[in-house]
Amino acid sequence: MIKIITIIGARPQFIKAAVVSKTFRERGSSVREIIVHTGQHYDTNMSDVFFAELGIPKPDYHLGIGGGTHGQNTGRMIEKIEAVLLREQPDWVLVYGDTDSTLAGALAASKLHIAVAHVEAGLRSFNRRMPEEINRVLTDHIADLLFTPTHAAMANLAKEGITGNRVRQVGDVMYDAALYYGEKAARCSRILTALNLSDKGYVLATVHRAENTDDQQRLQVILNGFAASGRRVVWPMHPRTRQRLEDFALAIPGNISVIDPVGYLDMVMLERQAAVIATDSGGVQKEAFFHRVPCLTLRDETEWVELVAGGWNRLTDVTNPKTISRDLLVCEQCAVETLPVLDCYGRGDSALSVVEALLKEKAE
Ligand code: UDP
């Protein structure tokens, strides 16, 4: 039996881990997955809802670490994860994406000479001021097995000297999730009716990157840009963004409906029926493409370069409200049926490739 410790802590990691965890369970007794939740995201609607909706088993360990600075969180996580690893002695530590939980898991494991596997390896924004960029670079250099979603990610790693059998292009587990849970979303979600939203009649917005939320001017520009568009904007608001709006005493324009963060199934339905998605989220940019909705990215750069090249995604200047409102309308008029259907995120079987590789490597 192969023992795997999965380290997760933040919303996008619950979604990525859900499809991989399901695949582990399908393997029966040949693999035992132990889930460690660091506590980075702890609100019900940022954490519990995903375990319930996506059928992720209850974490075996809940470390309860959240709410501190990057340094405090990462340091405390390393200490507590190390104790779990010493006790459990796993064959693999599996980490996802680019949060403090990712880096803490990778560091704790590598110092104990436990093999580290990184799902969503090789992404780069080339913006070292992003905390996520530091987490990604370091985790990739620590990892023993790197699962990349795209060709661009493979190329990024090659430029840093990370090549060979250690690196596997498996596609994107978020595409697996979009396919697998998409049907359930259509059956179970009632959010469009609850919010009285008409098909293609609104803009869906999410904003949570530090560069936007922690800069009062940029946050104000985003609000003004949405206001100037005149469109109905539905904005499931990340707790950090809500806190900053309060700290900066910024008013919400009348055309913006701020709602609490929603579960994944409701999010999928909001994404599918939106006329445009405006976001600074990595995952939401891809989901816009999965559901064939044009996306405006509220950032200066993106890791998902193929979406920009393919015309599905447009970067906008977050220093000028007029540019944001103009670009929203440009996206709205984009004829998505004429855009290329990219196959760069795999075939929806990425989780299977991840699980098979983990089992095979340890069996050898
Ligand atoms: N998401 C969600 N509810 C929300 C906002 C986002 O379920 O209210 C999902 C979204 O569909 C995507 C993931 O959360 O799968 C993206 O997470 P986030 O934007 O927090 O992180 P990032 O992808 O930028 O790392």
| Catalytic residue flag (residue 62) | no
Ligand 1 site, residue 284, Cβ cutoff 6 A: yes
Distance CA 10, CA 235 (A): 19
Put simply, whether the predicted model's pTM sits higher than 0.75 gets the answer yes
Distance CA 106, CA 58 (A): 22
Distance 1 CA to ligand 1 centre (A): 33
Please tell me which residue in 41, 118, 208, 291 is annotated as part of the active site: 208
Mean pLDDT of the chain: 97
Residue 274 clears pLDDT 90, i.e. is over it = yes
Q: DSSP secondary-structure letter at 109?
A: H
pLDDT band at 364 (very low <50, low <70, confident <90, very high): low
**Whose CA is closest to 269, among 58, 53, 99, 22?**
53
Using one digit for the tens of pLDDT, what is the confidence trace for 14-42? 999 999 999 999 999 999 999 999 999 98
Distance CA 258, CA 239 (A): 12
DSSP string for 284-328: HHHHHHHTT--EEE-SS--S-HHHHHTTSEEE--TT-HHHHHHHH
Ligand 1 site, residue 182, Cβ cutoff 6 A: no
CA 157: distance to chain centroid?
20
Ligand 1 site, residue 281, Cβ cutoff 6 A: yes
pLDDT band at 132 (very low <50, low <70, confident <90, very high): very high
Q: DSSP secondary-structure letter at 117?
A: E
Q: Are 285 and 279 in contact (CB under 8 A)?
A: yes
Residue 363 clears pLDDT 80, i.e. is over it = no
Distance 359 CA to ligand 1 centre (A): 29
The predicted pLDDT at position 362 comes to 80
Residue 48 clears pLDDT 90, i.e. is over it = yes
Average pLDDT over residues 221-242: 98
The predicted pLDDT at position 106 comes to 98
Using one digit for the tens of pLDDT, what is the confidence trace for 54-99? 999 999 999 999 889 999 999 999 999 999 999 999 999 999 999 9
Using one digit for the tens of pLDDT, what is the confidence trace for 163-181? 999 999 999 999 999 999 9
The predicted pLDDT at position 276 comes to 98
CA 47: distance to chain centroid?
13
